[in-house]
């Protein structure tokens, strides 16, 4: 089968297309023929081997897992002997975190993992662009226990996590203020934001408003820089940054505002099913910036690393 592999850490050029042995499913697994996947910022960090401390789990000198990619959409082509939930031919979508391997024609996953039947009528490309950003957004939002009428600001609202966060916060009944670049203002408003702030024209920290929750969807906002915009008892939700590992327990003990950092994130079948339900109810949609065939993975990766993508960058494998 064709797969994108890398045998060393480095720039996007270390990625190459290669023929590898197809995986064989265990008794509790299904094998999926991949039609679409994504390139995420996690893929980029793993390929680069950054931060260096992460190599203690991914491989110090070279990557332990040669094939990246966690988002997937495709068709079940083989089922293990113990699998009853799926059948050959089922159209499925999901995410394979920690094991990865979706940048390939075939992938094996446990039937009990974060995998579900696709929403009716949805194209593979859109289904592949659902899980990573949305489940990371769900993980980040849950500690805030968003309620109807609460005010949330989402910083970096045009990325994969941000576009998901806007839609999910609206689903939970919150009043959403979104910070993004000027090219994405109309999109973010269409996703359900009540207010959109162009960060090139205005700093939200100086607008005189306060929020119950601030979600940093891109990992570049510091708690100390935005705590003045949080109400007493407010929550800053982090999606990146090792400093937040220390701030989370510290602010739980002292201070008027708290930092919550849900790490490691949990990727469950129930969350994938929830997303399918929201999509079928018209409350959630995938956002795709660019589509590339698998052969253009290096170009797709370079674009993701500009940090200017809107939503998701999709790789397609249909011949």
Query: CA–CA separation, 242 vs 240, rounded Å?
Result: 7
Shared-domain flag, residues 42 and 157: no
Establish if 268 belongs to a structural domain.
no
Establish if 277 belongs to a structural domain.
no
Beta carbons of 143 and 299 less than 8 angstroms apart:
no
Shared-domain flag, residues 103 and 143: no
Shared-domain flag, residues 82 and 62: yes
Q: What is the pLDDT of residue 319?
A: 59
Shared-domain flag, residues 140 and 244: yes
Establish if 275 belongs to a structural domain.
no
CATH number of the domain where residue 149 is located: 3.40.50.720
Render pLDDT for 167-188 as a digit per residue (tens, 0 to 9).
Answer: 999 999 999 999 999 999 999 9
Shared-domain flag, residues 231 and 249: yes
Render pLDDT for 10-60 as a digit per residue (tens, 0 to 9).
Answer: 999 999 999 999 999 999 999 999 999 999 999 999 999 988 888 888 889
Beta carbons of 143 and 262 less than 8 angstroms apart:
yes
Shared-domain flag, residues 232 and 299: no
Helices (H), 143-264: 160-171, 185-190, 223-226, 243-253
Q: What is the pLDDT of residue 184?
A: 96
Would you say the pTM of this structure is higher than 0.95? no
Q: What is the mean pLDDT of residues 190-218?
A: 94
pLDDT of residue 280 exceeding 70, the answer is yes
In total, how many domains does the chain have? 2
Establish if 281 belongs to a structural domain.
no
CATH number of the domain where residue 72 is located: 3.90.180.10
Establish if 200 belongs to a structural domain.
yes
Establish if 272 belongs to a structural domain.
no
Helices (H), the chain: 41-48, 55-58, 124-128, 131-141, 160-171, 185-190, 223-226, 243-253, 269-280, 297-304
Q: Which of 136, 6, 167, 151 is nearest to 71 (CA)?
A: 136
Shared-domain flag, residues 200 and 107: no
Strand partners, 215: 154, 237
Shared-domain flag, residues 187 and 203: yes
Strand partners, 309: none
Render pLDDT for 225-262 as a digit per residue (tens, 0 to 9).
Answer: 999 999 999 999 999 887 877 888 788 878 888 999 98
Shared-domain flag, residues 116 and 143: no
pLDDT of residue 142 exceeding 70, the answer is yes
Establish if 297 belongs to a structural domain.
yes
Percentage of the chain lying above the pLDDT 70 cut: 100
Shared-domain flag, residues 120 and 137: no
Residue 49 domain boundaries: 2-130+286-316
Shared-domain flag, residues 178 and 149: yes
Establish if 66 belongs to a structural domain.
yes
Q: What is the pLDDT of residue 318?
A: 80
Q: Which residues of 274-304 are buried (b: 16+ CB within 10 A; e: fewer)?
A: bbbebbeeeebbbbbbbbbebebbbebbebb
pLDDT of residue 268 exceeding 70, the answer is yes
């Amino acid at each position: 089968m064709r797969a994108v592999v890398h045998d060393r850490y480095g720039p996007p050029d270390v990625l190459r297309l290669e023929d590898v042995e197809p995986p064989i499913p265990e008794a509790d697994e299904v094998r999926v023929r991949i039609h679409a996947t994504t390139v995420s910022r996690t893929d980029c960090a793993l390929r680069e081997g950054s931060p260096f401390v992460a190599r203690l789990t991914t491989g110090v000198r070279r990557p332990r897992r040669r094939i990246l990619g966690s988002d997937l959409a495709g068709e079940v082509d083989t089922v293990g002997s113990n699998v009853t939930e799926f059948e050959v031919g089922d159209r499925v979508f999901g995410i394979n975190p920690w094991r990865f391997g979706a940048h390939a024609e075939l992938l094996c996953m446990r039937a009990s993992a974060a995998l579900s039947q696709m929403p009716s009528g949805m194209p593979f490309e859109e289904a592949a662009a659902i899980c990573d950003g949305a489940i990371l957004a769900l993980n980040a939002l849950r500690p805030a226990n968003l309620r109807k009428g609460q005010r949330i600001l989402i910083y970096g609202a045009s990325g994969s996590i941000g576009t998901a966060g806007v839609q999910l916060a609206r689903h939970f009944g919150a009043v959403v203020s979104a910070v993004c670049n000027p090219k994405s203002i109309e999109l973010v408003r269409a996703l359900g934001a009540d207010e959109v702030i162009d960060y090139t024209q205005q700093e939200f920290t100086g607008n005189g408003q306060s929020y119950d929750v601030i979600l940093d969807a891109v990992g570049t906002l510091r708690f100390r820089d935005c705590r003045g915009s949080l109400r007493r008892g407010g929550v800053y939700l982090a999606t990146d940054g090792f400093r937040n590992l220390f701030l989370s327990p510290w602010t739980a003990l002292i201070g008027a505002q708290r930092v919550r950092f849900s790490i490691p994130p949990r990727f469950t079948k129930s969350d994938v099913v929830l997303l399918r339900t929201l999509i079928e109810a018209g409350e959630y949609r995938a956002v795709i910036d660019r589509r590339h065939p698998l052969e253009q993975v290096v170009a797709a990766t370079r674009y993701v690393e500009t940090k200017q993508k809107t939503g998701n960058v999709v790789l397609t494998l249909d011949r």
